[in-house]
Amino acid sequence: MTNRKPPQSKSIAQVLFMGLMLLVTSVFSYGGIKIQSVLFTIEVNAAGEQATMQSTDDIEVSARVQPVDAGQSSVAIDIRNKSNDQMIIPLTMIIGTSIKPFSDPGGGYGSELYATREAFVIESGEQTWFGWQNRYDIEAIRSNTDIWAVDITTAEQPELQPLTRTLIIEPGKTGSIRLDYIASNRNKAFLSELNLDAVLLGNLWDWFRWLCLGIWMVLDLLFGVVGNWGGAIILLALIIRLCTIPVTKISLEFQQRAMAQQQRMAPKIAAIKQDFAGIELSEKMIALYEDEHYDHMAPFKGMLGLFIQIPILIALFTVIGEMSELRGAAFLWINDLSLSDRLFSLGVELPFFGGYFNALPFLMAFVTILSTWQAARRSAGKAPAYSLFGMALVFFVFFYSFPAALVLYWFSSNLFQLIQQSLQRTPKADESV
């Protein structure tokens, strides 16, 4: 006759089924995991310095943590069934409780754009990573045993719901949980080694993601050469300017031609409007444009350089938001290239602009205005109207609180354009391009 203890076994089964929940809470600041249930509690840290084990007459739990690399650990949890009955244990795992949205008080609109906290599930071969990330940091777990049920709710920002599974342990047997655990910054090389680089630059069009990855790769190569991220960004601006010289050269010539022909045509158009009206006015205007060989597309052709630079600028903005390597990277007076340059605090936070005086946007606007002024004087022979500086003002307002890395790129790009057009021959207004 089998020696069984039905009342006790039934009580344990009911407790385990109704109330036993294995709660795994990743403590990011200490790189630790906390596991607790109605029968046991385990506290371990990623360095493997301590593992607390508790046992009862019916269950024995042990935990081991083995550091693999900086920010990465291997976690082994064993639950041994010492009773004479099968145990059915519902498990729930919660991770990423310490990952919060990126916060930068006083940073302004530019920082608010990066205030994200996202959940992710990444398939890696036969295994799956699941976790949380914000602008700089990532925390994730990959199960090396059974599959966990994962659910991400669709909201403004995805929410990773508690993961669930059921652990069935036969009498005298041991149920095992094996996890790869990471709590690290979002370093591209580190994530690539773990097949987790898909979390970077996610949710983008394929062509745009490849553009971003290309820019990132070039920045990495330039950093390897100069050893400074600020210098790498300036070199990137120079390389892109050199590669787009044929287009920007034509673009600058069309800008100058458009300004010159506007100056030349203005008095003639005014005279026609004074003497004619209606259909006759339209006919005279058409005849004037034909006689003067007026190029209606010149203003749009003059924006070719900008049309090429804008996608690159947007891609760079995206990359800068993903590069944890820029965090704390200093350049000149800038302490952190991933934030605005912050020459000094204003002592008050202004809506949209934030609470710091940022010098780079002023330098960027000055170079842009100087470039526009120079182009207008060379083509028309006199100072341009203030309306021509509208683009510089727009960029100044929107770029004011953006990361210094992005503003440094745009400042450098405009400075190289100013140098280029200073060395470029000035075409005549009626010269074909």
The answer to the question of residue 318 being in a domain is yes
Q: Are residues 234 and 196 in the same domain?
A: no
Print the domain residue range for 90: 64-200
The label of the residue with tokens 């158009």 reads: 269
**Residue that finishes a domain, picked among 200, 232, 265:** 200
Last residue of a domain, one of 146, 174, 200: 200
How far is Cα 289 from Cα 349, in angstroms, rounded to an integer?
52
- The reported pTM is 0.73
Q: Are residues 260 and 227 in the same domain?
A: yes
Tell me: do 220 and 160 sit in the same domain: no
Same domain, 355 and 322: yes
Judge if 187 and 217 occupy the same domain: no
Q: Are 406 and 320 in contact (CB under 8 A)?
A: yes
HSE-CB for 135 with a 13 A CA cutoff: 20
The answer on 108 and 69 residing in a single domain is: yes
433 residues of the chain, pLDDT tens digit each = 333 333 333 334 433 333 333 333 333 333 455 655 655 566 655 455 545 555 667 888 877 778 888 888 888 888 888 888 888 877 777 777 677 888 888 888 888 888 888 888 887 666 788 888 888 888 888 887 767 777 666 655 566 777 777 788 899 899 888 888 888 888 888 888 888 888 888 777 888 888 899 899 999 999 999 999 999 999 999 998 888 777 766 766 666 677 777 777 778 778 777 777 777 777 777 777 777 677 666 666 656 666 677 888 888 888 888 888 899 999 999 999 999 999 999 989 899 899 999 999 999 999 988 877 776 665 555 545 555 577 788 889 989 999 999 999 999 988 988 887 777 655 444 443 3
| Neighbouring C-beta atoms of residue 374, cutoff 10 Å | 15
Are 75 and 119 part of one and the same domain? yes
Please, what sign has the CA dihedral across residues 399, 400, 401, 404?
positive
Tell me which residue of 52, 196, 76 sits closest to 138, measured CA to CA.
196
Domain co-membership, 310 together with 410:
yes
The number of angstroms, rounded, from the C-alpha of 193 to the middle of its chain's C-alpha atoms is 20
Tokens found for residue 245: 């010289």
Cα angle value 246/250/255 (rounded, 5°):
145
Contacts of 343 (CB under 8 A, 6+ apart): 333, 356, 357, 358, 359
Which H/E stretch holds residue 236? Answer: helix 229-243
**The tokens of 79 are what?**
């639950």
Distance CA 95, CA 140 (A): 7
* Length reported for the chain: 433
Residue 18 lies in a domain: no
**Are 254 and 333 found together in one domain?**
yes
Q: What is the largest CA-CA distance in the chain?
A: 120
Distance of CA 286 to the CA centre of its chain: 50
Residue for token pair 């996610």: 202
Helix (H) or strand (E) holding 117: strand 117-124
As for how many domains the chain has, the answer is: 2
Is residue 33 classed as helix, strand or coil in its secondary structure? strand
> Does the residue 225 lie in any domain?
yes
Domain boundary among 170, 200, 230: 200
For 284-315, how does the pLDDT look when each residue is reduced to its tens digit (9 = 90+)? Answer: 777 777 776 776 666 666 566 666 778 888 88
- Same domain for 163 and 80, yes or no, is yes
Q: Are residues 373 and 230 in the same domain?
A: yes
Distances (CA, A) of 95 to 75, 174, 376: 14, 24, 59
Angle at 41 between CA 37 and CA 45, to 5 degrees: 125
- DSSP bridge partners of 169: 87
CB 162 within 8 A of CB 56: no
Q: Output b/e per residue, 323-342; b: 16+ Cβ within 10 A.
A: bbbbeebebeebebbbbbbb
Contact in structure between 413 and 240 (CB atoms under 8 Å): yes
Contacts of residue 146, defined as CB under 8 A and 6 or more positions apart, other chains included, come to: 165, 167
Same domain, 148 and 223: no
